[in-house]
Amino acid sequence: MGRIQIVLVGTQDGANVGSVCRAMKTMGITRLVLVGDREYDENRVRTLALHARDVWESAKRYESLQEALAGSVLTVASTRRQGKFRKDSVLNPQQLATRVQETGEGLVSIVFGRESDGLTDEEVAQCAAVVSIPTSDDFPSLNLSQAVQIITYNLFDKIKTWAVEAVPVEQARCEQAAATATSAMDEIGYFKQSHEKLWTYRFLRDVFVRAALSESEIQKMEKVFVKMGKIIAHKEPGDDV
C-alpha cells in the first residue's frame, strides 16, 4: 500500500483535503499529492484530518498533473463521466485493485478531480486507465472523500504482497516511447488528419503503461516502429509494401 499515491487536482475546500487524509490513512495509504497552487485554511484541513494530519504535512505539491504522474508505473483517473473524448474501457474499484495487485514494482497514482466538476477531458487523457464507482442513477454524485474511501478500501481489502522479477518503466518513459512510435508513423505518412497523431500517441502511451513493460521490452517496441519506418522509406516507388 505504501506505493499508492492519491492525487487531488484542484480540490476546492480544505475540509475535503482533511477528510481525504483520514480516508487514506485508515487504509494504510500515506502518499498525498496536491496539483495546483490553491492555498487551504490550515485549521479546516487539520480539524477534518484529525489523527491523519501527518498525511497532510507530508503532502507533495506539483504545478501540473503531468509532473505529478511522471514517476508512476500506473496512472488511473477516477471519474464517473463518459464521453467521446474519454477512455473506451473503465474499471470498477474491485477490478482496479486486481490491476494494481498484478502491476510490478513502482508508484501507482490514482487521480481525483474537483468537487464541482471532477476531472477535465485533458486530465483524464493524461492517465492510462479509468476507475468508476457504480452508483444509483437517481443520485450518482459522491463526496470526494467518500470516493477516495471506497477506492482505497478495495485496494486495502484486495492487495497482497507478491514478488516480481521485471520492473515496469515509469510513465515518462512510456510517453517517450509513444512519441518515438508516432514520429516514425508520421514520417511514413500514416496520419491523414492532424488530430490522429495526438490520439494515436495517447492510445500507445496508455497501452504501454497498462502493459507494465520492462525497459528492454519497451526498447524492442520502439525498434519495431523505427525499423518499420526505415523499411518503408527505402522502398522504391511501385514496390509492394
**Do both 153 and 41 map to the same domain?**
yes
Q: Name the residue among 204, 138, 137 with its Cα closest to residue 175.
A: 204
Residue 241 lies in a domain: no
**Do both 154 and 186 map to the same domain?**
no
**Do both 46 and 9 map to the same domain?**
yes
**Do both 138 and 198 map to the same domain?**
no
For position 180, what pLDDT does the model report? 97
**What CATH number is attached to the domain comprising 73?**
3.40.1280.10
Strand pairing report for 60-62 and 31-35: parallel
**Do both 113 and 36 map to the same domain?**
yes
**Do both 181 and 128 map to the same domain?**
no
Q: What is the pTM of this model?
A: 0.84
**Domain membership of residue 128 as a residue range:** 4-158
pLDDT band at 162 (very low <50, low <70, confident <90, very high): low
- Of 158, 185, 205, the last residue of a domain is 158
**Do both 30 and 103 map to the same domain?**
yes
Beta strands, E only, 81-183: 107-112, 129-131
Beta strands, E only, the chain: 4-9, 31-35, 60-62, 72-78, 107-112, 129-131
Residue 240 lies in a domain: no
Residue 197 lies in a domain: yes
pLDDT tens for residues 101-156? 999 899 999 999 999 999 999 999 999 999 999 999 899 889 999 999 999 999 99
Task: Count how many domains the chain has.
Answer: 2
Residue 212 lies in a domain: yes
**Do both 42 and 131 map to the same domain?**
yes
**Do both 145 and 197 map to the same domain?**
no
For position 229, what pLDDT does the model report? 80
- Of 158, 180, 198, the last residue of a domain is 158
Residue 164 lies in a domain: no
Residue 87 lies in a domain: yes
Largest CA-CA distance found in the chain, in angstroms, rounded: 73
- Of 133, 158, 183, the last residue of a domain is 158
**Do both 229 and 119 map to the same domain?**
no
**Do both 23 and 107 map to the same domain?**
yes
Residue 202 class from Cβ within 10 Å (0-12 exposed, 13-18 middle, 19+ buried)? Answer: middle
**Do both 140 and 21 map to the same domain?**
yes
pLDDT tens for residues 138-151? 998 899 999 999 99
Whether residue 27 is predicted with pLDDT greater than 90 in this model: the reply is yes
Residue 165 lies in a domain: no
